[in-house]
Structure 1
Amino acid sequence: MKKQLLLTLSAALVLAACANQQATDNADTAAEDATSQEVANQDQGSKIEEGHDHTHDEGNHDHDHAHEEAHDHNHDHDVTVSTETVVDREGDNYIVAHGDHYHEVPVSEVSDDEQKEIDQYLKDNPNLKAEREAKQKIQAGYFKDDQVADRTLEDWQGDWQSVFPYLEDGTLDPVMEIKALESDGEKTADDYKDYYTTGYQTDIKEIKIKDNKITFIKEDGSEVTGEYEAAGSKILDYEKGNRGVRALFTKVGGDEEAFESVQFSDHNIAPTEDVHHFHIFFSNDSHDELAKEMDNWPTFYPAGWDGDQILDDQLHH
């Protein structure tokens, strides 16, 4: 079930702008009302200093799901509609899980026999909708400390590529245009591109993770490998009221030049198999010192993805 990602940029921008404003107002208000007191009572996190721009809030999604409505019928991924992927039905659309985000797929695109099977499955599993809503709430940065679970490098095994080149070559320009429209004139697409340039900037072009080893490959082809062990999690409390989690790893062997401290942030707060991208922080400083870095968050996607796939993923966040 493959479709073109964008019919036209202008059409997508208009749809996104209209849908997102109302969705943002409703979703943010509900989430913050439900969790503001809970977050205020937490004292285990690290309060982020004033003066930073936390539009991105590297540890969580700062976007609602209006992009699903605006771009769902224009995606470039194969989205399989089955009892293994469907989590809800809303009107004439099925809500389908795809990695760490969701797509709307018209019911009309599914055969009558499949509809009967899927509808019966949803009826028999009413918990799926609640689980989806709980996951979206967590990814928006609203959760309790006791929901956080330590992770291992198993979650990020494989080969990864930096997203920075796709920002530089213009592939992600549609994302910046949409963000500009969503800001209601407060920022331009160039403003957002400058912001993400600072965020994505890195001379690490590839990362390979196998077992407990992380290999960092630079643009000049040089590479270093370190052996790492898990060092727990760090919860960050943001001034807007939501939160983020970084998984901490400390070097215990490998090349001398390999970074001493590495932290991952991927919008999840516990072990998961559905990682499609992550933000990473690395230095020779302590974890407490590294956790202060809020402006630069190099971001990596699977090495096998092309620019269209990465664009599609970003349009759904």
Structure 2
Amino acid sequence: MTSRRPIVQAPMAGGPSTPELAAAVSNAGGLGFLAAGYRTPEAMRADIAATRRLTSRPFGVNVFMPSLDEPDPAAVAAYRDRLAPEAARLGVEPGVPGARDDAYDAKIADLLADPPPFVGFTFGCPAPDVVRAFQDRGTTVIVTVTTAAEARQAAAADMLCVQGAEAGGHRGSFANTSEEPVPLRTLLREVGAVTRQPLIAAGGLATASDVAGVLALGAVAAQIGTAFLRCPESGANPVHKAALADPRFTSTAITRAFSGRPARGLVNRFLTEHSPHAPAAYPDVHFVTSPLRKAAAAQGDPDGTSLWAGTSYRQATETPAAALVNHLTP
């Protein structure tokens, strides 16, 4: 790691990971990350340019690997029909499935043309020639893994982000399966037994003591997402920020209800009612629910939108990002 502090701000797609947040973390001595997921290549490039204006410190950009799911169109259509009453209540129509590769090739070409210091990959490991191309340009390649088997597949990466069961948002697993996720501290030991690559620990970390604990287990840094969600620099929507401190929400759970891929969020009405019926179809379900989630957030309805959060969500405060990096450093 080139950062002065062992704190990596998790790339949180969908809005939270702004240039302001990434730059504030990097300026404070951590490693800030932009999330290219769901962004167009043009928007990704604009985010990178904005971050460079705000910091001269290293930062990273995270990319979603293209989905390998082979969805059942009938199951997706049935789920879309199920959500029709939700959509009508919100005054919108359910979305329709769109492109499944998140403009991966265009983003890789763009990043290689003007690479950031770090590039991360979620939902799989890029091809060896892509990894080498970034490494040849001096970029450090990080791959998110959720099992020891995935760690073996990512042997060409410079570093691994080890994502435990406690993490908020999407599981970074290579396959869209329903396997029980492994707790972070157990996973660190399992991955550490099969690789000598530097490991970044992720999942439910929210205090300096948490960070010290994973460093003692051999991690070189702690990746933290949920704790940054309520920072003023975060682009999380106000409904999401407020829900993290709302006593009505008392737990988190992993669900496919919003995107078709397992992701951990606060247990709300939508998650409870629709989780049993959501097919394993990503990003198809993401497209279907997108208009509903946006409308619910715009209408101030926390029970109708995704409220991604890790198990330590109660620790999230409105602390500025730079101060939070200081608080998190052992």
Output the TM-score relative to the length of structure 1: 0.30
Relative to its length, the structure with more strand (as a share) is 1
Larger Rg: 1
